[in-house]
Amino acid sequence: MSDEDDDIAQRKMQFLFALRSKGVTDARVLSAMEKIDRGPFIRGLFSQRAYEDMPLPIACGQTISQPSVVGLMTQALRIEPRDKILEVGTGSGYQAAILSQLARRVYTVDRHKRLVTEASAIFNDLNLTNITTLVADGSFGLPDQAPFDRILVTAAAEDPPGPLLAQLKIGGIMVVPVGQSDAVQHLIRVSRTDQGFDYDELAPVRFVPLVEGLGKDT
């Protein structure tokens, strides 16, 4: 093994240790995050920081979430192998790639065409064939593909969006950051039951806001 390979192996080991220390303990989630390298999803000046547990800027004024938050959100979904998942906010594509290791099918949407195009290219390179990418206003979900077993929103809404709640199966779970400012946000798990919706507050977080409409680059 070369010094460079040894260095990467060491950083990956530290990466997984950091995930566990932040509360990511689900074995399937950890296995998925070990398998999907964060490196290809980060370009330019920040590529050397791919294995650090920190958010990093990407194109279109967006960010790639810190890995521990990706892990905690994924873990909170309690994904089953046959699940069909909607992700709102493709961003770099890293979160969708993790989801693809755990579920049968992932639909991921973003309002920025550039982000969808770049993420799609990475998915092709990694041979992740169970991800469908779309340029769309994610706040309205994907009615044509509903209902979904799981929905993950990677941008903060003031309240869990009504159209997304409506597209969640009975027994389904949605994880969404909720907050009226970027200073005060909480990660919420919404479980749909025969009687309605149950809400669990999971952790304080900070995400870019959920914005309606398509990006100007579309």
Task: Write the pLDDT tens digit of every residue in 156-171.
Answer: 888 889 999 999 999 9
Task: For the full predicted model, state whether its pTM sits above 0.85.
Answer: yes
Highest mean pLDDT among 74-83, 131-140, 181-190, 199-208: 74-83
- Determine what percent of the chain is predicted with pLDDT higher than 90: 62
49-108 pLDDT per residue, tens? 878 888 887 887 778 888 999 999 999 999 999 999 999 999 999 999 999 999 999 999
SS (H, E, C) 76-144: HHCCCCCCEEEEECCCCCHHHHHHHCCCCEEEEEECCHHHHHHHHHHHHHCCCCCEEEEECCHHHCCCC
Q: Is 68 a catalytic residue?
A: no
* Mean of the per-residue pLDDT values of the chain: 89
Reduced 3-state DSSP string for 2-63: CHHHHHHHHHHHHHHHHHHHCCCCCHHHHHHHHHCCCHHHCCHHHHHHCCCCCCEECHHHCE
Q: What is the pLDDT of residue 10?
A: 82
Query: Where residue 47 falls among pLDDT bands split at 50, 70, 90?
Result: confident
Q: Give the pLDDT confidence score for residue 218 in this predicted structure.
A: 46
> Which listed residue (2, 21, 47, 65) is catalytic?
65
User: Which of 129, 71, 142, 59 is closest to 100 using CA atoms?
Assistant: 129
User: Residue 166, SS3?
Assistant: helix
